[in-house]
A = this chain, B = another copy of it.
Amino acid sequence: MQRLFLASTSTIHGKPYLTYILPELLQFFKGIDEILFIPFARPSGLTHDEYTAVARKAFASINIKVKGLHECKDPIKSIKEAKGFFTGGGNSFVLLNELYQLNVLPVLRESILNGTPYFGTSAGSNIAGPSIRNTNDMPIVYPPSFDSIGVIPFNINPHYLDPDPTSKHMGETRETRINEYQFYNKISVIGLREGSWLEVNGTEIMLKGELNARWFETGKKTIELNTNTKIVSI
């Protein structure tokens, strides 16, 4: 039974990295003493070592060791043997491209479907959907495809922002961008506000955190999803 914890963001304004969800992560990774960290999204250009050190420090506080996938000589074997995964945020194009280069998307998908718990933040959550077509990131590298892990049946737009009625900026709002997406794609999208996350247990997906989320489904009116409710069945 697959288990995923997909967060909109790693960090809430004013709080240290991951602290707002550490109690939940302790539950999510119960009984697991080491996880495999996927550092490829490189936020602000952090090296894989630097980024892994950030994740390691946060998980040390709940007594979970962190190994970086870039440290593994045989990434496919390491993914197969991992007890849990954490993919950090950054640039979704860079992250996905690196996963394609290493040819690890199929084994990552298989491991998740077989029940290895997967935790993602931002870009790390984005790639759990069928594609990265709803990322907010800049396309700074060209991946072989926008198709991603696809272990949930809809895409995630992390860091979802509501339109600001006082803004004088003429760039598209997040809602406009996702509406444009729906002209070309049938797969639904959840706009996850910062502080929200999805908990996936087998066929059940729950929205968690203090805020509601935004649900975009082609041909239907966009709606608000209440937090702490089951949102869809796989």
Contacts and interface: CB of A to CB of B under 8 A. Distances in A.
Assembly stoichiometry (copies): 2
Interface stretch (A74-82, A132-140, A203-211, A224-232): A132-140
A11 interface: yes
Given A159-B169, A169-B161, A194-B169, A180 B140 contact: yes
Interface string A73-117: 000000000000000001101100000000000000000000000
Interface string A176-208: 111111011100000000100000000000000
Given A170-B12, A170-B194, A138 B45 contact: no
Given A45-B179, A94-B184, A184-B94, A136 B194 contact: no
A125 interface: no
Contacts of A135: 138-139
Contact of A181 (B10, B11, B136, B138): B138
A9 interface: yes
A140 B176 CA distance: 12
Contacts of A90: 180
Interface string A148-191: 00000000001101000000111110001111110111000000
A141 interface: yes
A27 interface: no
Contact of A133 (B134, B140, B177, B194): B140
A28 interface: no
A177 B9 contact: no
Interface of A: 9-14, 42-45, 90-91, 93-94, 132-142, 145-146, 158-159, 161, 168-172, 176-181, 183-185, 194
